[in-house]
Structure 1
Amino acid sequence: MTTTRPIAVIGNANLDLIGGVLSDWPDRGTEVFLDHADSRVGGSAANTALVLQRLGARSGLIASAGTDTVGQMIADAFTGPLDRIARIAGPTSVSFGVLHPGSERSFFSTPGHLDSFDVGQVRSGLKDWPLNGAYALVSGAFAMPGLTEDCLSLMADLKAQGARVAIDPGWPGDGWTVAMRGLMQDWIAQSALVLINDKELLGMTGADTLKAAISEIAPTLAKETVLVVKCGPNGAIALANDQSFAASSPKAEIFDTIGAGDAFNAGYLAAAQAGHDVASCLSAGCAVASAVIRAFPRAKTALHLPELLSQGTSE
């Protein structure tokens, strides 16, 4: 029987339709032809779970999908022994991503099944899950009203069952209101690992610079909590046990950065699962994210963590 700590990824799965590159918005009633297009399973949790599959990590996605054809596409992508995809009557949520020059993008999303995904369905999917000693990442909670509302109690349940809880919240739909900032602070207090990007941290703290934002949040972290801040092409930084760490991202020309942070999460967690320290996990996150987003359309081939780690930042 394997003793490898499994990774539970809990959160959103939907269909992503990606096209670009579009420099200017077209006039109404006209048609624009784009050079690139891709359709794929998306959503922050699903993105992370798919990369974990490619890394060969012992993991599973706990998510939902509609009962339409798109929902079946999502369910077919997650058929492993630890995957749990609840089917919700109705259409599956869809996100339309338009790529712009300079790696910028715009999104249009439909609510669909994500508005009906709640903690009750998560708990049902986790009934027979080996949570003791597992890593449990709650990803994209702000994208699902039912999960946002009860995420704190879910995180407490996960901890009570012996899981190491991680959070990657995404961006709140109504912005970083006082209520959302307070909720995020509560989530951080329950987390062993916080995975957040630089823009989210700036929004949450209201700080003008990343250095000021980190200085503001650092005193609120529990001693055992690791804070990871993803900085896109500038790599990532971490705070752990009163120490700071940094890793750079391999240099590459990339125009579709959608899911980069989710791929980083997979690399970081896979390295942690393999017993690496924070510095190596940070490097793994950067290396995996870079490898994933270089391919358009996204690849499905295996990724080898030791090989990616050995490449370091030499590219």
Structure 2
Amino acid sequence: MILRTVTLNPAIDQTVTLDRLVPGAVHRAQAVRRNAGGKGVNVASCLADWFGGAARIEALGLLGDDNPAAFEALFAAKGITDGMVRVPGETRTNIKLVAESDTTDINLPGFAADDAALAEVRARLQDPGPGDVTVVSGSLPGGLPAETCAALVAGLRAQGARVVLDTSGPPLARALAAAALPDAVKPNRHELEDWAGHPLAGPTEILAAAEGLRARGIGLVVVSLGAGGALFCGAEGALHARLPVVGGGSSVGAGDAMVAGIAAALAEGKGLEDVARQGTAFAAAKLTLTGPNLPARAEVEALMRRVTIIPAADWAGNPTPAAANR
């Protein structure tokens, strides 16, 4: 079994912890942490933790020539196959200033890419095997058009690959309007509203929009709702899954962990309820740790058993107070 991730715009996540943030003042950091990141890299890291060598995990995409060390170290430590195409320049750094209950994000510019680099990525995505799953996630670097994700999905589907898509903005809009659609997609509420073209006032409208998106031909639509859990719409019906927040780790990458859980469950041939349990448990388990990591498999499986699953129609008719959270 092979699971691949495609990250065209990875990032080094640098988290700086402060007592408080005062504009214009000099600050002394309590701690600094750097993690190789980017949505697909986070997904690959969580998949490697889950399978523990029982599946081949490949990280593909683009990586800056000037600062690949953090990524190479992550891939080596977790046994992830490094299929990243090196391009001139630096992979971007995302700085997160964490002070009290607030986080301030400063995203630095990174490398630009061109058609030749993208063509090399596509060449490395050839010949998927039966049951293989490819996750295409994250934003696009400068130089690549908004249609890039749609083109990647079309190429992968033409080869028989199963594709999970997690992106946003124009790349997501182009992919959802294309003739070749992904097998699964995971928008959050805001991204679903963008697709619908109007605000979604509550659970009933969220469910209707998700089912409308699935009716276009996408096998699985998962809408992440933050503390309100997630909505899973598939051929077997529609379910709402929720698990109370556990642990006190960073929520950065929890959505990517959910995507990893979904991709792993699809690769393992699980049905809708188990996909919902696994995706939800991955996201909750990630909260117990910093960086793109999962705890031991037994701990994640214990969380899976605690996930509350109800029919989506019941959730829409009688939502919990947090159900409409983003």
Specify the alignment match of 2:110 in structure 1: 112
Q: 1:134 to 1:299 in 2, by over 3 A?
A: closer
| 2:34 pairs with 1:39 | yes
Q: 2:150 maps to what in 1? A: 152
In structure 2, which of residues 6, 9, 12 is the aligned counterpart of residue 10 of structure 1?
A: 6
Whole-Å separation in 1 of the counterparts to 2:61 and 2:139 = 11
* Partner SS, residue 113 of structure 1: coil
Report the Cα distance in structure 2 between the residues aligned to 1:40 and 1:82, rounded to whole angstroms. 18
Verify the 8 A CA contact 1:44 1:140 in the aligned structure 2. Answer: yes
Match of 1:175 in 2: none
User: Aligned partners of 1:44 and 1:147: how far apart in 2?
Assistant: 19
Q: Does the CA contact (< 8 Å) of 1:86 and 1:125 recur in 2?
A: no
Per-residue deviation at 1:253?
4.9
Counterpart residue number, 2:17? 20
User: SS at the partner of 1:199?
Assistant: helix
Counterpart of 2:158 in structure 1: which amino acid? A
- Going from structure 1 to structure 2, the CA distance change for 1:87 and 1:260 (only over 3 Å counts) comes to same
Alignment check: 8 A CA contact 1:228 1:236 kept: yes
Deviation at 1:38, TM superposition (A): 1.7
Q: What SS does the corresponding residue of 1:252 show, helix, strand or coil? A: coil
CA distance in 2 between partners of 1:305 and 1:156 (Å): 37
Per-residue deviation at 1:190?
A: 0.7
Which of 141, 160, 163 does residue 162 from structure 1 map onto? 160
1:207 aligns with 2:199: yes
Instruction: Give the aligned partner of residue 275 of structure 1.
Output: 269
Rounded Cα–Cα distance in structure 2 between residues aligned with 1:187 and 1:294: 38
8 A contact 1:99–1:255 mirrored in 2: no
Q: Provide the residue aligned with 1:75 in structure 2.
A: 72
Amino acid at match of 2:212: P
Kindly provide the CA deviation profile for residues 136-159 of structure 1, in whole angstroms up to 9, marking residues without a partner as x.
111014566516332222211101
Question: Over residues 51-103 of structure 1, what are the superposed CA-to-partner deviations in whole Å (9 max), with x where a residue is unaligned?
Answer: 111112432111221112x313213322557430111122221111233555x
Give the Å deviation of 1:223.
4.7
SS in 1 for 2:23: coil
CA distance in 2, matches of 1:189, 1:298: 30
CA contact (8 A) 1:92 1:112 kept: yes
After superposition, where does 1:294-313 map in structure 2 within 5 Å? Answer: 294-296=288-290, 299=293, 302-304=296-298, 307-308=301-302, 311-313=305-307
Match of 2:315 in 1: none
- My pick for the range that moved more, 230-239 or 181-190, is 181-190
Residue pair 2:246, 2:287 contacting (<8 A) in 1 also: no
- Structure 2: stretches of 5+ with no match in the other structure: 309-326
Q: Give 1:287 deviation, angstroms.
A: 1.1
SS at match of 1:257: coil
Secondary structure of 2:185's aligned partner:
strand
The residue aligned with 1:176 is none
Q: Match of 1:45, SS?
A: helix
Q: Which residue of 2 aligns with 1:226?
A: 220
CA distance 1:150–1:280, shift in 2 (3 Å): same
SS in structure 2 opposite 1:20?
strand
In 2, Cα distance between the equivalents of 1:301 and 1:47? Answer: 14
Q: What's the offset of the Cα at 1:34?
A: 4.0
Please give the residue correspondences for 1:128-143 in structure 2 after superposition, counting only pairs within 5 Å.
Answer: 130-142=128-140
Contact 2:230/2:240 (<8 A) preserved: yes
Identity of aligned residues (%): 23
**Counterpart of 2:181?**
190
**In the alignment, residue 76 of structure 1 is paired with which amino acid?**
A
The answer (yes or no) to whether the contact 1:99–1:106 under 8 Å persists in 2 is yes
C-alpha separation in 1, matches of 2:286 and 2:179: 28
Root-mean-square deviation (Å): 3.0
TM-superposition CA deviations, 1:259-287 (whole Å, max 9, x none) = 01001111121122222211111111111
Q: Give ranges in structure 1 of 5+ residues lacking alignment.
A: 173-178
TM-score under structure 2 normalisation?
A: 0.79
Aligned to 1:252: 246
Give the equivalent residue in structure 1 for 2:48. 53
Give the Å deviation of 1:288: 1.4
